[in-house]
Amino acid sequence: MRSHLKARTRLALTGTAIIAAIGLLAGCTGSGADEGDVVDQGTSAEENAESGDTVVIGFSGPAADHGWLGAINSGAQAAADSYDDVELRVAEGTDDPIAQIAAVETFVNDGVDAIVLLPSDGAALTEAAIAAMEAGVPVINVDREFSSPFAARTTVLGDNYGMGVSAGTYICEQLNGKTDAIVAEIAGIDSLPLTQDRSQGFADALDDCGLEVSARVAADFTVAGGEEAASQLLAANPHIDAIWNHDDDQGIGVLAAIDSAGRDEFFMMGGAGSRSAMEAIQADDTVLKATVIYPSTQAADGVALARLIAQGKTMSDLVTPGIPNRIVLDAPVVTKENVDQYIDLSFE
């Protein structure tokens, strides 16, 4: 609803005001600084880049049964390989919380310096993460949140609600005041909080321009599931103006269903940011005209932050020394006009 979006705006403005206030306070109270200067007490970019003590990082994530998860895993390794002072120990990917708990316990027993953990189930892994933290091993929580604030030193998240807002805003712009438009949604797994957040953000953004979701189906993040759900949606709705499909992997099946049905009266946008989606947007020869990114770089960011934390360094571009305890990444919309800026960050 409009109130949700206005609240987000107020929060953003409040955050800006707080940052400005911190800068002024630092300038006024910093010892030895000229009046108006900002005193930065953290480490610089040059200091962060310098090789330090070797940091051993344990990484555990779910089985890579999805293109996005595969990119998460390869991104973590690539980030570790980019530093000459990081050793990454990777546990076998698993969707079994018990097996992942065992991996975390092994990391702690082996004396790693930090753990980057994308839990198969955030609630189920919470106690194991708390135990690691209590043992003095900082945990960087990626993508799926734990159920306790004591389970992680830092949390790196994509913005699922923001994805929905970005998708809805783009569709509003493209429909340009057509308040009787038929807008359809092909969600992921409905039982997941991430799907619920995406759908809520989408509904709120559409409401802000006088639209609503006219038809909705849910799939399961797979090609086959996307094709089946899209076939049902198309059969039940003889006319559609716009579709948002939450996930680009299932979008391959969605596009197959659209081709089979011979439908092209609408435009579609995807979600997550796969290579196939971006190439289709670049070619501009299908109904897919845009996608909204859900970063597959979250584990890579987690590795970079784990290194800084273990070495006692800070985020160099922040005035306040330290590492934030929560980072929510952006959810930008990729179109034909800007796809060249994002395609190198896409996943297979």
Mean pLDDT of 102-107: 98
Rounded CA separation 248/12 (Å): 29
| pLDDT score for 34 | 56
Global pTM reads 0.83
The pLDDT of residue 36 is above 90: no
> What torsion, rounded to 10 degrees, do the Cα atoms 65, 70, 73, 77 define?
140
- % of the chain exceeding 70 in pLDDT: 89
Mean pLDDT of 144-152: 96
Rounded CA separation 167/189 (Å): 18
Q: Of 192, 190, 184, 194, give the one whose Cα is nearest residue 238.
A: 184
Q: What is the pLDDT of residues 230-276, one digit of tens each?
A: 999 999 999 999 999 999 999 999 999 999 999 999 999 999 999 99
Rounded CA separation 115/96 (Å): 18
Q: Of 130, 128, 124, 121, give the one whose Cα is nearest residue 149.
A: 130
Of the candidate ranges 50-54, 150-154, 304-308, the one whose mean pLDDT is the lowest: 50-54
Sort 39 into a burial class: Cβ within 10 Å, 0-12 / 13-18 / 19+: middle
| pLDDT score for 242 | 98
Yes or no: say if 126 and 148 are a contact pair by the CB < 8 Å rule.
Answer: yes
Yes or no: say if 110 and 300 are a contact pair by the CB < 8 Å rule.
Answer: no
Cβ neighbour number for residue 8 with a 10 Å cutoff = 15
The pLDDT of residue 299 is above 80: yes
Enumerate domains of the chain plus CATH numbers. 35-156+297-328 (3.40.50.2300), 160-294 (3.40.50.2300)
Give CA separation, 147 vs 141, 150, 151, in Å: 11, 9, 8
The rounded mean pLDDT for the chain is 89
Of the candidate ranges 16-20, 111-115, 336-340, the one whose mean pLDDT is the lowest: 16-20
Strands 267-272 and 326-328: unpaired
The model's confidence at residue 6, banded by pLDDT at 50, 70 and 90, is very low
